[in-house]
């Protein structure tokens, strides 16, 4: 049942290329120049009139929503807020018929996400559910469903569901961009072509397993570590930090790289591992200066970036890992796989129950 893998989590990490393809299938036009969602009730007219988007979810699905915010703002030029469902539902959110609400849930059964969906609907919002289970409560109650076709996810730590949620956000972002005229056909075509390469590129990241395992065995000797990044990299490190905590029980915190010096830098001391994501060329210099601040306090830095930056980065960091080149907005679909494998191998090194971490359940149906 684990298809030759030692754990469901590793099997599911390896199923990501297929999950990407399946989630894209039937939604990209044959000519590769656009996207269609033929089963959505949300009309083009509604899409043109949307004033703001609210993305609501819990845990890993919330982290997908943080990337989703970057995607929708960049592609469709609509203001987006992303919130955790247990906060949203109790904070009198400003939501009305011109708000598009997107709830994200692998299981479709998360109690807080379901309650937030109902709260939004009661205020007149149109609610789209991005979910992996089409017969779920959330899918039933939502006005529209965008199904992620990741297949059943058994490991408690979510991997392929998260990345399929990213694919759903890319597709839906492009769809709205086309209707709102915020991206040219050339830009949309280029992004779709780059998305087409993602499955093969994930295979390349999977081949990095030996070097990631070695680094994971090193960090497994530490009690605390930090993750930093900017832009979508910040969203991805939050997911990486959760994944690591969840299955390795190593304490970590994820920071926006520019926030470190506003307090957290006080915690950096000799030998503390700091994992940086630096895939966004427009802010890479800034991230490198944050890395230097960490190095100056004795921190030990590993950075995930592109091959072209390796030589330069090695002047300021201890370890560099490189992912295949893609468009800036698409990098989360590759960089997160490094962090998933890191969490997996750290958990393995510490001999924890990878698929069934302590205190956690796959589906959280109580608030």
Residues 110-129, interacting with ligand F6R (CB under 6 A): 110, 113
Compute the distance between CA of residue 258 and CA of residue 24 in angstroms, rounded to an integer: 35
State the DSSP string of 64-84.
HHHHHHHHHHHHH---EEEEE
Compute the distance between CA of residue 124 and CA of residue 99 in angstroms, rounded to an integer: 8
- If binding is defined by CB under 6 A, does position 59 make contact with ligand F6R? yes
| Residue 288: CB minimum distance to ligand F6R, A | 30
- If binding is defined by CB under 6 A, does position 246 make contact with ligand F6R? yes
What number of chain residues touch ligand F6R (CB under 6 A)?
14
Q: By the 8 A CB rule, do 95 and 125 touch?
A: yes
- If binding is defined by CB under 6 A, does position 65 make contact with ligand F6R? no
Q: By the 8 A CB rule, do 100 and 117 touch?
A: no
- If binding is defined by CB under 6 A, does position 137 make contact with ligand F6R? no
Of residues 61, 272, 275, 343, which one binds ligand F6R by CB under 6 A? 61
Compute the distance between CA of residue 272 and CA of residue 258 in angstroms, rounded to an integer: 18
- If binding is defined by CB under 6 A, does position 17 make contact with ligand F6R? no
Compute the distance between CA of residue 52 and CA of residue 201 in angstroms, rounded to an integer: 33
- If binding is defined by CB under 6 A, does position 157 make contact with ligand F6R? yes
The residue with its CB nearest to ligand F6R is 59
- If binding is defined by CB under 6 A, does position 352 make contact with ligand F6R? no
Compute the distance between CA of residue 226 and CA of residue 182 in angstroms, rounded to an integer: 37
**Residue 2 known to be catalytic:** no
Q: Which stretch binds ligand F6R (CB under 6 A): 52-60, 226-234, 299-307, 341-349?
A: 52-60
Q: By the 8 A CB rule, do 47 and 179 touch?
A: yes
Strands 300-305 and 80-84: unpaired
- If binding is defined by CB under 6 A, does position 265 make contact with ligand F6R? no
In terms of Cβ atoms closer than 10 Å to its own Cβ (0-12, 13-18, 19+), residue 15 is buried
Compute the distance between CA of residue 32 and CA of residue 55 in angstroms, rounded to an integer: 27
Q: Which stretch binds ligand F6R (CB under 6 A): 43-51, 59-67, 215-223, 279-287?
A: 59-67
- If binding is defined by CB under 6 A, does position 248 make contact with ligand F6R? no
Token code pair at residue 114:
């379901």
- Pick the closer one to ligand F6R by CB: 17 or 65: 65
Binding track over 88-107 against ligand F6R, x by CB under 6 A: -----------------xxx
Please tell me which residue in 2, 295, 356, 362 is annotated as part of the active site: 362
Of residues 58, 167, 250, 323, which one binds ligand F6R by CB under 6 A? 58
Token code pair at residue 334:
């590759």
| Residue ranges binding ligand F6R (CB under 6 A) | 58-61, 105-107, 110, 113, 157-158, 246, 363-364
Task: State the catalytic residues.
Answer: 362
């Amino acid at each position: 049942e684990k298809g030759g893998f030692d754990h469901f989590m590793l099997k599911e990490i390896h199923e990501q290329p297929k999950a990407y393809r399946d989630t894209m299938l039937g939604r990209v036009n044959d000519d590769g120049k656009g996207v269609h969602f033929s089963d959505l009730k949300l009309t083009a007219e509604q899409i043109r009139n949307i004033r703001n988007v609210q993305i609501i979810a819990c845990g890993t699905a919330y982290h997908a929503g943080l990337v989703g915010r970057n995607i929708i703002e960049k592609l469709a030029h609509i203001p987006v807020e992303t919130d955790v469902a247990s906060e949203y539902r109790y904070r009198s959110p400003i939501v009305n018929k011109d708000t598009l609400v997107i709830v994200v849930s692998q299981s479709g059964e998360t109690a807080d996400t379901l309650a937030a969906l109902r709260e939004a609907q009661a205020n007149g919002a149109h609610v789209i559910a991005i979910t992996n289970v089409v017969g779920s409560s959330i899918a039933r109650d939502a006005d529209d469903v965008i199904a992620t076709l990741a297949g059943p996810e058994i490991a408690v730590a979510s991997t392929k569901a998260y990345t399929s949620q990213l694919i759903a956000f890319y597709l839906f972002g492009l769809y709205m961009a086309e209707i709102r005229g915020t991206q040219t056909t050339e830009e949309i075509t280029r992004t779709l072509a780059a998305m087409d390469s993602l499955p093969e590129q994930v295979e390349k990241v999977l081949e990095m397993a030996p070097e990631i395992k070695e680094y994971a065995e090193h960090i497994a000797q530490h009690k605390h570590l930090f993750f930093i990044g900017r832009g979508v990299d910040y969203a991805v490190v939050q997911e990486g930090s959760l994944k690591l905590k969840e299955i390795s029980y190593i304490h970590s915190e994820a920071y926006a790289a520019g926030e470190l010096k506003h307090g957290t830098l006080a915690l950096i001391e000799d030998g503390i591992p700091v994992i940086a994501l630096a895939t966004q060329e427009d802010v890479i210099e800034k991230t490198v200066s944050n890395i230097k601040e960490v190095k100056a306090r004795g921190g030990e830095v590993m950075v995930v970036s592109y091959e072209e930056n390796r030589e330069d980065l090695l002047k300021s960091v201890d370890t560099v890992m490189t992912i295949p080149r893609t468009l800036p907005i698409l990098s989360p679909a590759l960089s997160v796989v490094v962090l998933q494998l890191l969490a997996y191998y750290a958990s393995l090194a510490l001999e924890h129950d990878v698929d069934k971490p302590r205190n956690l359940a796959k589906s959280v149906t109580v608030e």
